[in-house]
Amino acid sequence: MPGELVPADYFAPFNVEEIRSNGRPLEVDLGCGDGAFLLAMAREYPDRDFIGVERLLGRVRKLCKKITRSGLSNARILRLESRYTVEWLLPKNCVSRLHLLCPDPWPKYRHHRRRLMQNDFFEAVRQALEPGGEFLFMTDHEEYFHWACERMDAYGKFERLEWQEDTFFYPKTDFQMQWEAEGKSMWRLRCRKPINA
Ligand SMILES: C[S@@+](CC[C@H](N)C(=O)[O-])C[C@H]1O[C@@H](n2cnc3c(N)ncnc32)[C@H](O)[C@@H]1O
């Protein structure tokens, strides 16, 4: 489908040139859903490349159509699982910003092990980010947020940065708009891979 990024090999990391043109900054949105955030970012930053990762075929199809209609050449969508993408397909030191926005909080205790925000995932994120690259996580789920922050602090290989709503341009995601309309507030975590890591 136009707008879709199809790996040449699902069992080896991408060649950097496949996903990032001429050394431009690359941003990856994990679980991009219907893509409102991805498209708004691609429109705002025509000099950066964007990849949305989404596992549901229906959402991928809709987003491919939106990308085609928008005429944006710097946004693509990868139909794949987020953790697999970060652990196995993203080359090391190549992502400028990695976004994880409103992921499933898996609220039941027995499902906590399915949560993305854990040690192995942090390590894969750190490896994929370029030095100085950032990881941004946002959720409406307060318990998941504190749970994730505890694990991030224990992991200890990122620097925490301030992130207020107006710190930089950051369009609202579909789920964020839905949850804010229900009166929920969002919890934000912004981390940086140290320059000398
Ligand atoms: C709650 S929605 C949030 C969508 C978007 N980030 C937003 O904030 O509007 C979560 C999205 O992530 C996708 N998703 C959930 N788990 C995933 C995974 N492991 N790999 C890829 N996509 C996933 C879901 O299909 C869904 O579209």
CATH code (residue 95):
3.40.50.150
Is 47 a member of any domain? yes
Q: How far is the CA of 33 from the centre of ligand 1 (A)?
A: 5
Residue 44, classified by CB atoms within 10 Å of its CB into exposed (0-12), middle (13-18) or buried (19+), is exposed
Ligand 1, CB within 6 Å, residue ranges: 31-33, 53-56, 59, 81-82, 101-104, 173-176
Joined tokens for residue 72: 């944006």
Q: Determine the structural domain holding residue 120 and report its residue range.
A: 25-192
pLDDT tens, N- to C-terminus, the chain (197 residues)? 889 999 999 999 999 999 998 889 999 999 999 999 999 999 999 999 999 999 999 999 999 999 999 999 999 999 999 999 999 999 999 999 999 999 999 999 999 999 999 999 999 999 999 999 999 999 999 999 999 999 999 999 999 999 988 899 999 998 999 999 999 889 999 999 999 86
pLDDT mean across residues, the chain: 95
Is 48 a member of any domain? yes
Q: How many domains are there within the chain?
A: 1
* Under 8 Å between Cβ of 86 and 123: no
Is 49 a member of any domain? yes
Neighbour count for residue 120 (Cβ, 10 Å): 12
- Helix or strand holding residue 190 (H, E): strand 187-192
Which percentage of the chain shows pLDDT scores above 90? Answer: 91
Q: How far is the CA of 196 from the centre of ligand 1 (A)?
A: 32
* Under 8 Å between Cβ of 98 and 30: yes
Is 2 a member of any domain? no
Residue among 54, 113, 179, 187 whose CB has most ligand 1 atoms within 8 A, to mutate: 54
Which percentage of the chain shows pLDDT scores above 70? Answer: 99
Residue among 62, 175, 184 whose CB has most ligand 1 atoms within 8 A, to mutate: 175
Tell me which residue has its CA closest to atom 14 in ligand 1. 31
Is 167 a member of any domain? yes
Is 10 a member of any domain? no
Joined tokens for residue 54: 């989404």
Is 17 a member of any domain? no
pLDDT tens digits for range 65-81 = 999 999 999 999 999 99
Is 15 a member of any domain? no
